[in-house]
Structure 1
């Protein structure tokens, strides 16, 4: 696998749902194409732009909002800052006028029905998530191909920038595997989060690392809170009813709250016991992924389809274990490193590895982070990650109707619960007696991904997607 330097902020990205590989990645690819295009010729000289989607991006692109993402990206909108409530309005204006402001500045003709093409029967060789942008300026044609490789990461075809110094410079404690983490721990005595922090300081100041990670948490908790307050039906032909708000209201016995802090007080005060806590963990995860399915702002962790697992586990720790800001900081640094190890040694793309690459990885990340803040050793953190992934191996990606709703939303609740269980098991175990290492599981996950039939890799051509009576055209 390609070795690269990955920051915790590459693993945790702020963006728009419903998919990091099918929404955020293509959105970023559109932005990158515009930058390359502007270097080649003035944007004002462009007559038209077309987008061609291949493989999984074509087969589930409608349900995942890939066409929406590339249109918004070409229009100059940023997924981190866009007003999510205005997305429908932006799209309606383009569709009704058949015109677009390229990069928000230069008007061109653009018909979403004909200028975004879904090549259902064709896949590009490098990765299932391929897309090509073609711009015409008079007799000149400008074309670039990109691959969305999971978690919002993109690669431009045949570009030297993919191996730029920014991604390959030497970190003080480079780690491509769990064995590397153990080596640095044995040499320095540092915990996982401390090792990661030293590496992060190669990019940015320590105070910036902390401030940015706390901001990441604030976005996560906002998506939980909003999801717990928002009723209705999710977009798309499945007509899935939101459940988090109803469950939230039931657990709080109808009490209302105007902000997150008041809501957290009520969550802590309104009950206790295993069943109550379990219900809340499920509610937290449902809330995030219902927001994700509604083209709202979430944090990829490490993907959008799995965006609810880590927030749910972290919110569980904050709400029921009195987690503080320092705990959040250490949790996210630890979890981010586990995600990085899986990306380097296997994949975080469901189109490459099935849902084990999304929910499985997020559950492993959350398990390690939770074990860290519970006071577990480095070995126990790695063991928790291994346990969580071991029991997601082989999980397929089979979104019904190409939407990130069934079974994706409920799977986040399962991933969160497995993470908590894995952490508890690791904390009560001696890692020295373990027969399976995290590196064993990363390798097994990658081998399983290679063996898995392509129907089960985010194509909606197998599994539940094949057996629920709804067609892709309905979505």
Structure 2
């Protein structure tokens, strides 16, 4: 069986919020279905399209924008480039006109309330996040395909092995577990980020990888900066107030700046006390996930619901650890991506499969490892930091109020970021010889915990805070 090969650009994807598994994944699935119709020359014959949402995609689909993402994907729009200011008008037009333009080419009658079906009480066995597309042709035939959104924007077509849609390459350092990664580091003497870069060379040149990572970094910075300067309430009906902009203003006072660069300098000039630093880490994380909750452009890290953790810790490194240069940013991101890849292969990145430990827990482990590497930790300390971060997220449930990626999701990103920094400091001050728990052991434990977890705590809004907090109450 083909081993899953995961690149830095599989873990870090540019997209639109609020959810990688419920927005970005279904969007990509819709695009793939249109491609199937084009490949078998059926697109021109389509008379009607129906979409069936199962399991978690049905139960939290409205709050996560699954319906919106699918309609945009079927229309031929791409989440990397689509103008987010046009989401509302585009969806309103589809509803009003009762028409989809499939792939941007074929006008097709579409009545949203009839043709997009939420099967709240049905789930398919492979994964809770399932969607089936049906196209009925004027020839009397029909084309049907089922896709699973498996977390982090990854999509698997039914009867297709994970990773089989991607060309297999010869990686110089095959890695499935943390033990494999440590083996290659010991054998070569390379740092973790260097091992990752060598593997990336199997797909593209080093310059292309560097440019791609720095573009990811650019999108992250734009997301943080915009989030720290946008006020108001988040959409969705909970009336959750944005906090990043208010906190940014409070912390900077009358400081003058005109760009991301001058803003970072102003923050750095403000001091380095514990409370000040803590407030900024929280502000960075809040900013990203408030943008995510508002259908903003974000980067999966490794998911949208946990998109604020790695960026917040990276900004902490840049501002408070003097890490503002391209090389250190690239090393940070490469290391983080490999830890995310290990969790993807050994457990899951899907909250619908494993609860929030699969999102905030994994992102915290990624950030802890990356920070430790960036601060000069040994390879074993890097893996130890990732283990510590995840160990203290084990069992974390996913119970979004109203099916929205807002409460408790946004604040959880601040918690994940702080835990990552703490885990990194612990690892840097510890001799790995004394560690009792390995990263592979904690990955296995996370997966076992995911299998044992009650389904109502797996992104269904059927348990936890989702059923104990009246929707009319403000966020506490």
Counterparts of 1:353 and 1:361, CA distance in 2: 11
Structure 1 residue 391, shift from structure 2 partner: 0.3
Listed as ranges, the matches of 1:102-121 within 5 Å are: 102-121=102-121
Structure 1 residue 192, shift from structure 2 partner: 0.6
Match of 1:377 in 2: 378
- Long gaps (5+) in structure 1: none
Match of 1:206 in 2: 206
Match of 2:459 in 1: 458
Structure 1 residue 403, shift from structure 2 partner: 0.1
Listed as ranges, the matches of 1:249-268 within 5 Å are: 249-255=249-255, 257-268=257-268
Listed as ranges, the matches of 1:162-177 within 5 Å are: 163-164=164-165, 166=167, 168-177=168-177
Give the 3-state SS of the residue equivalent to 2:54 in structure 1.
Answer: strand
Match of 1:190 in 2: 190
Match of 1:235 in 2: 235
Give the 3-state SS of the residue equivalent to 1:48 in structure 2.
Answer: strand
Match of 1:150 in 2: 151
Give the 3-state SS of the residue equivalent to 2:437 in structure 1.
Answer: coil
Structure 1 residue 272, shift from structure 2 partner: 2.7
Compare 314-323 and 26-35 and name the one that shifted more.
314-323
Counterparts of 2:236 and 2:254, CA distance in 1: 29
Check 1:62–1:182 CA distance in 2 against 1; reply closer, same or farther (3 A cut): same
Q: Deviations for 1:398-438, whole angstroms, at most 9, x for unmatched residues?
A: 00000000000000000000000000000000001100010
Give the 3-state SS of the residue equivalent to 1:85 in structure 2.
Answer: helix
Structure 1 residue 148, shift from structure 2 partner: 0.2
1:2–1:344 CA contact under 8 A, matched in 2: no
Match of 2:318 in 1: 318
For the aligned residue pairs, the C-alpha RMSD in angstroms reads 1.3
Match of 1:14 in 2: 14
> How high is the TM-score relative to the length of structure 2?
0.97
Match of 1:288 in 2: 288
- Long gaps (5+) in structure 2: none
Check 1:278–1:226 CA distance in 2 against 1; reply closer, same or farther (3 A cut): same
1:134 and 2:134 are equivalent in the alignment: yes
Corresponding residue pairs, total: 470
Match of 1:469 in 2: 470
Q: Deviations for 1:16-65, whole angstroms, at most 9, x for unmatched residues?
A: 00000000000000000000011223422211111110000000000000
1:3–1:344 CA contact under 8 A, matched in 2: no
Counterparts of 2:126 and 2:293, CA distance in 1: 28
Structure 1 residue 165, shift from structure 2 partner: 6.3
Match of 1:367 in 2: 368
1:136–1:142 CA contact under 8 A, matched in 2: yes
Give the 3-state SS of the residue equivalent to 1:47 in structure 2.
Answer: strand
1:38 and 2:38 are equivalent in the alignment: yes
Check 1:270–1:362 CA distance in 2 against 1; reply closer, same or farther (3 A cut): same
Match of 1:390 in 2: 391
Counterparts of 1:316 and 1:382, CA distance in 2: 20
1:63–1:402 CA contact under 8 A, matched in 2: yes
Moved over 4 A (4+): none
Check 1:165–1:285 CA distance in 2 against 1; reply closer, same or farther (3 A cut): closer
Counterparts of 1:123 and 1:325, CA distance in 2: 45
Listed as ranges, the matches of 1:264-279 within 5 Å are: 264-279=264-279
